[in-house]
Amino acid sequence: MTKMNEAFLASMHEAMALLRTAGPLEATEVIQRALRDSGAAAGFQPAQVVEALLPRTAPAADAEGPAAKAGEARTQPRREPKPAPWPGVQDTGHFTTRHYASHAGERAYKLYMPGGYDGQPLPLVVMLHGCTQDADDFAAGTRMNALAEQHGFLVAYPIQPMTANPSKCWNWFKPGDQQRSQGEPALIAGITREVMANHPVDADRVYVAGLSAGGAMAAVMVQTHPELYAAAGIHSGLPCGSAHDLPSALAAMKGGNLAAKLMEKARTAPRGNSVVSPSRPLIVFHGDADATVHVSNGERLLRDFQGGTHRDKQQRSRGGRTFTHRQLTSPEGIDAEYWLIHGAPHAWAGGSSRGTYTDDSGPDASAEMVRFFLAHPLRP
């Protein structure tokens, strides 16, 4: 393979990664640059390349075992719904679509209320889907609604439309969407407050979680709204402030030095700026075979917990995945957990094959997030 072909192939890998976490417009820019550099034939359209990169069917992990190759999610048709994994627990509640509008714009969202809910104050978990997903897909893959039945909490799923991002990615890498009082953070916080206003919610037990681009936006939310969210769960995501445009987004996804420099700048910014110092518990999941978002981002998410105490434990999930479970406590007494899953791809650990981007080999990220959340109410 010539050096030119090697460079072009590397650019296509970059485009695929951006397609999954940023959207086709950003991927197209990388392809256009690669075509210019390689001297590709006239009439070769970047849009055609982007279309070819899009999955034809929902990617999901094999229900019979791990994915064929680490770092890759298999592409296969959706499977028939399976019974809930907890005896006697089904999604028997109400799953309805709502609409929110404010000065920052408008978004639809879905709200799950567990069966038997009679108005008593319950915790609220806000779930932010990944690229190409929607609320129904994310709910099916994470099985969070079944956990809501088991433990008794509400679940809100804000929906990113294609008009905001053609791949339905949350725009975690845009400066206007990293601000407390504008853009997508204002919309997501507004949805959260609307649910709290319309339903009895325990204000000390409101949490946010997400996958990939949704995980990166969950990191933004807990940083920009620490008075609203008691803790955050981030799966295969990136730290707040790790990117401000397309090149820095790609660098952050690769785990480059530019991302580290941007993060350091964000960490030292005055509190009056868009990013504030982390002050809430975090539970982070990341596969060390993630070919889309480099595993170093998991470590960076927990940078402010360094200097305190930590302990590591090597374990194996029921599905056969080995993982390192790290428990940390910051010098200020704030807890965090890091689940480093060995050989795992860019997919929700322990998820159901009914949804996309899941790895049913475990460990069960949803159950562990709920456990962590319920143990950490809002603290001053």
* Count of Cβ atoms closer than 10 Å to residue 124 Cβ: 25
Helical (H) or strand (E) element with 236:
none
Coil/strand/helix, residue 343? coil
pLDDT in tens, 39-93: 443 333 444 334 333 433 333 333 333 323 333 333 233 333 333 333 333 456 8
Model pLDDT for residues 198-226, shown as the tens digit of each residue: 999 999 999 999 999 999 999 999 999 99
CA distance linking residue 262 with residue 256, whole number of Å: 11
User: Do 227 and 308 have their domain in common?
Assistant: yes
pLDDT-derived band at 276 (thresholds 50, 70, 90) equals very low
Q: Say how many domains are in the chain.
A: 2
Say yes or no to pLDDT of 312 above 60.
yes
Please indicate whether residue 32 or residue 270 has the higher confidence score (pLDDT).
32
**What is the pairing mode between strands 201-211 and 309-316?**
unpaired
Say yes or no: 43 and 179 in one domain. no
Provide the domain limits for residue 40: 3-53
Q: Are both 13 and 128 inside the same structural domain?
A: no
215 lies in the same domain as 287 = yes
Which of 4-13, 202-211, 246-255: highest mean pLDDT? Answer: 202-211
Q: Is the pLDDT of residue 177 over 90?
A: yes
Which segments within the chain are labelled E, that is strand?
A: 94-102, 105-113, 122-128, 154-158, 201-211, 231-235, 282-287, 309-316, 322-329, 335-341, 348-349, 358-359
Distances (CA, A) of 28 to 34, 213, 270: 10, 18, 35
In a domain, 247, yes or no: yes
3-state secondary structure of 369: helix
- For residue 319, being part of any structural domain is answered with yes
Q: Cβ of 325: how many Cβ atoms within 10 Å?
A: 16
Q: Tell me if residue 201 falls in helix, strand or coil.
A: strand
Q: Do 198 and 191 contact (CB within 8 A), yes or no? A: no
Q: Which two tokens stand for residue 242?
A: 């790790």
295 located within any domain = yes
pLDDT greater than 70 at residue 140:
yes
Tell me, yes or no, whether 225 and 305 share the same domain.
yes
142 in the same domain as 9 = no
Comparing 13-17, 168-172, 361-365, the range with the smallest average pLDDT is 13-17
Report, as residue numbers or ranges, the catalytic residues: 212
- At which residue do the structure tokens 């990220």 appear? 365
Residues 345 and 244 in one domain: yes
98 shares a domain with 49? no
Exposed e or buried b per residue across 40-73, where buried means at least 16 C-beta atoms within 10 angstroms of its C-beta: eeeeeebeebbeebeeeebbbbeeeebbeeebeb
| Under 8 Å between Cβ of 373 and 208 | no
The residue type at 33: R
Residue 207's beta-bridge partner residues? 125, 231
And the tokens for 237?
């995501």
Residue with tokens 């799953």: 95
pLDDT value for 329: 94
Q: How confident is the model over 286-296, as pLDDT tens digits?
A: 999 999 999 99
Confidence at residue 323, expressed as pLDDT on a 0 to 100 scale: 98
Q: Give the pLDDT score at 103.
A: 95
The whole-chain average pLDDT of the chain stands at 81
Provide the pLDDT for residue 344.
98
Q: For residue 127, is it within any domain?
A: yes
Shared domain for 23 and 114, answered yes or no, is: no
Determine the Cα–Cα distance for residues 18 and 73; give it in Å rounded to an integer. 16
Q: Which residues 6+ apart lie within 8 Å of 183 measured at CB?
A: 104, 171, 174, 176, 177
CATH of the domain at 193: 3.40.50.1820
Same domain, 33 and 142: no
Task: Please state, as a whole number, how many other Cβ atoms lie within 10 Å of the Cβ of residue 117.
Answer: 18
307/300 Cα distance (integer angstroms): 14
Asked, for residue 84, whether it belongs to a domain, the answer is no
Asked if residue 317 belongs to a domain, the reply is yes
Length of the chain: 380
Do both 268 and 151 map to the same domain?
A: yes
Residues 279 and 217 in one domain: yes
Is 60 a domain residue?
no
Residue 81, in any domain of the structure: no
